[in-house]
Amino acid sequence: MATAILFKNADLYAPEHKGIKQILTVNDKIIAVEDEISADLPGLEVIDLNGAIVTPGLIDQHIHVTGGGGEGGPLTRAPELNFSELVEGGITSFVGVSGTDSETRPIEALMAKVRALTKEGATGWMWTSNYRYPPTTVTGDVRKDLLTIPECLGVKIAMGDHRCSFPTTQEVLRVLSDCRVGGMICGHDSYLHVHLGDLPIAFPAFMECVKMGMPIKHIRPTHVGRHPEVFAQAIAFTKAGGYIDITTSGGNYMGSAADAFVMALEEGAPIDRITFSSDGHGSMPRFDKNGEMIGLTVCKVSDNLKMLQELAGKIGLEKALLPLTRTIATALCLGNKGVIEAGKDADLLVMDKDLKPLHLFMKGRQVMKDSEVIVKGAFEE
C-alpha cells in the first residue's frame, strides 16, 4: 500500500521562499505543493508543521564515507561514516569520495559503502579514484567505471598539494576527455572533481584545457578557500562559467565557509556557481615547514548545517540554501533533487526558526522526528 503524507502549515523554502504551503507526498515523490490540498487517500497521514520551515534535504558532494586520513600511519585512518550522521546533518543526498590513502581504502570499498548508505535510506553517488594520477578505478579504466557503475558521477584527482601526483596539463586534459566521452557513452554529463592544495597551479591548467576546447562544465575544483591566490583564481573561474566548491568543515583562510561565500559574491562570483560540501570524515592534517605532520583533525558533515545557519544570518535563508540544494543539484544534473516541487524526490528537511532540524524525510521516509534520529544504520545501537 502506498505511503501518503500531507504536510500542512509548512513555511516553504523550495529553496525560494513560497510562504505557508501544503505538501503532499506519496511513497518517494512529491505529488503536489499548493496553498490547499484536498486528498482522500487510503492511510493518509496528516502532519501539521505549525509554521515550521521546510526546505529541500541537503546535498553534500564530498564525504569520505569510508574514512579519510592515514597521513600519519594506520592509527590516523579516520573512521567510516555512520548513517545517523547524515540524518543529524539534514543530508539526504551525498557523493562519496576517497582521499590520500589509496592502498587501504580501495575504490571497491567506497562503492560498497555508497550502496550500503543508499540501502539504509539516503541517495548516494561516488567519485571514482582519489588523489592519484593515473586514476585508481574499479575496472581499470575511467570510461568503463562510468559505464558499469551507476553511482559513478566522474573522477577525482588532486592538484597543487604535496600529496598529489602532480599531473601535467596534458594529463589533466586526458582524464577530462575520458570524463566527457565516458559521459557521452553513458548518456549523462560526467565531471572531474579536483582536490586543491595551497599551490596555485591548478586553475591555469584548467583554463589551458578550456582553451584547447574542453567545456568548462566538466571541471569541478573543491577546497578553493584555503589559500588567497587559489581563491582569487577560483573567483575568476566562476566568471568564466565554472563551478567552485567551498569546504564547510574548516580550512578557509578568510574564516568560515560563510565568510568565503560572501567574499566571493562581493568579488563578483555568480551566486549560482558556488557550492558547499563538508569534506566529512576527511582528515585535516597540519604539517610543519619540513613537511612533517604535527596534528590531525577530522571534518564533520554537521558543519554544513552550521554554515547554513551562519550564512543565513548574512544573506538570508533563501540564498543561503542554494549551495547545498538547488545549485549543487543543477551542477551535477541530479534532476530530482535540490528543490521542492511536484514530481521531485520527497527529501524534506523541517527546521525551527533557529534552523535547528526537527524532522527529516528521505525519499518520503521519516528518519528524524522531533530532533531525534529514529532510523539508524545497520550496526548502530
Instruction: Report the binding-site residues for Zn(2+).
Output: 62, 64, 156, 195, 223, 279
Measured distance CA(92)–CA(120) in Å, rounded:
11
Report residue 350: phi and psi, to 5°.
-110, 125
What are the backbone angles phi and psi of residue 310, rounded to the nearest 5°?
Answer: -65, -45
Kindly report the backbone phi and psi dihedral angles of residue 34, in degrees, each rounded to the nearest multiple of 5, phi listed first. Answer: -145, 170
Contact assessment for residue 31 and residue 46, using Cβ atoms and an 8 Å cutoff: no
| Measured distance CA(121)–CA(86) in Å, rounded | 10
- Helices H, strands E: what count in the chain? 10, 19
Q: Please give the helix or strand (H or E) that residue 178 lies within, else none.
A: helix 169-186
d(CA 168, CA 188): 27
**What residue numbers does the annotated binding site for substrate cover?**
69-71, 100, 131, 163, 226, 283
C-beta of residue 96 within 8 angstroms of C-beta of residue 130: no
Q: Tell me the C-alpha distance between 79 and 282, whole Å.
A: 9
Catalytic residue among 178, 279, 303, 345: 279
Distances (CA, A) of 147 to 114, 138, 143, 322, 374: 17, 11, 6, 30, 36
Question: What CA–CA distance (Å, rounded) separates 364 from 361?
Answer: 5
Check if 279 is active-site.
Answer: yes
Active centre residues (catalytic): 279
